[in-house]
Structure 1
Amino acid sequence: MSKSARPNPAERLCVAPASTGARAGAALAEDVARPLLETAAAAGIRRVTSRPAGDVERALGQAWPFPSPFRVDARTAPLAEGLDRVEARARRSLERMGLPRGETLLVSRAADLAGAEGRALWDRLEKLKAQGLYRRIGLCAGPEDDPELLGRRFAADVVRLPCNLLDQRALRSGALEALAVAGIEVQVSAVFAHGRLFSGGDAAVGQTPGLSRTRRRLAEARLDPMQAALGFGLSLPGAPVLVVSCASAAELRAMLAAVHASGRGPGPDWAEFALEPAAAGTLTDLATADAA
């Protein structure tokens, strides 16, 4: 196969734009979003995901390149706000982003589907899909939510669930592969373990058994944490989409360099870097970042 014919690993990425302030609930600036989207488009990335909280959607709506090459996913508002509000907010998401239709609408919390109004909530999503506002519908779930069962039960088009170098529960349980075999697109979130792989996550080291050991093993193997995180994600069965949160065009360029570098030569035994399941579960409890 010629070099030009090799697949572009960047096509596996789905960008979740968020400034540093936006991660703490502040607005995403247009002057951050625009170069970020331009960098993504130039790299061959065609997927972008938004969230209803904050001002991310409005900033995206003001920053799309023209013509835009992106397929855009959105997430629902909490069911606690009521079914009518969830539906109205899903419509409003498209308006805020300046889009006639979206790619995928995801239920933000699996617990919303498990409750008494779960089926009614899903019916609202199916209505929006039937009206052509979203091409696909799906859900976000954790390993503890039995994502394979939920995906099959609701005949979801897409399931998004966390899986990363530290928390490999979704891989070990077989959920990733089972969903892919069922014809359900898998999107992997929390690729960077909510920052716990990096020095910025030091506050969590003492609270998460094994985290210091994993960082030490990465250093001994001379593995850059970002390259390791993305290399692990690209190695997952079923070739899932990797949802990566980016704070700037510069940060995305660093990710792209790591993505391309990770494809050079065989990867290590990723299993040796995983935390034990109980410790991996604490990452979710400790995380303050967005699910993406």
Structure 2
Amino acid sequence: MLVFNKKSDLSAFLSPLINQNKSIGFVPTMGALHQGHLSLLKKSLSENDVTVMSIFVNPTQFNNADDLNQYPRTLERDIQIMQDLSNNIIVYAPEVTDIYEGNTVSENFDYDGLENQMEGKHRPGHFNGVGTIVKRLFEIIQPKRAYFGEKDFQQLQIVKKLVSKYKIPVDVIGCSIHREANGLAMSSRNERLSPMAREKAAIVYQILNNAKILFKTKAIEDIIIYVTNEFKKHPEFQLEYFEIADENTLLPVLKKEANTKYRGFIAIFVENIRLIDNISLN
């Protein structure tokens, strides 16, 4: 397995492959790999001549310094996990200086308002950081296809908007959420949870599923009240937000309309660790 730490070395390796019209699949991650990441890799391996995975904890998308400092970094373990899957994965694991060249700041992006909802409201500057790193990685790797998990559904829509608005020649492919046996959405942050909290966090998906059932017959306002009240029964969880939004615009809605896809989005804290999830409602 090839591991590159410098973009110049990676570009030099990929350039002949690009000239040969080899299709490059790309899976961007911040490491601490789990089965969700591996499902993205498997899809890329099956659909492309070459697969690149980046492992980079991007500082510009963190608005909380403690969250950045405590984010799990397990590069050696991650490489072993990938080797167990396939030797045909190319790894790009740069230092901050290789990506940002001494100027670790975000570019400013306009995503037609997608950035102002949910995560954007609660994490100022987050999606400028996401856009900055994704755009730079696309420029370095020049993939034909890039794979993102739907757990970060808002991020997926943001990246699709980035590619569309800035005319970046990449097919952005969303992949379904992978869940632990108890329903908890797989996330690198789960590694920071105590075993007890990790098990109790099953309640998040249970409540989302109940909201989906209620969506068939109840008003949106009633569903929001239900979710809020359910978390009041579990004081170890702090509900940051629950919103029902249009899948395409991400705008919160209070009234259902025909021929519109809706999704429930949630963010909670447990043991001071922030978890997000979402579910298609119709």
Greater relative contact order, per chain length (Cα 8 Å cut-off, separation 6+): 1
Higher helix share: 1
Higher strand share: 2
* CA radius of gyration, larger in: 2
Tell me the TM-score normalized by structure 1. Answer: 0.30
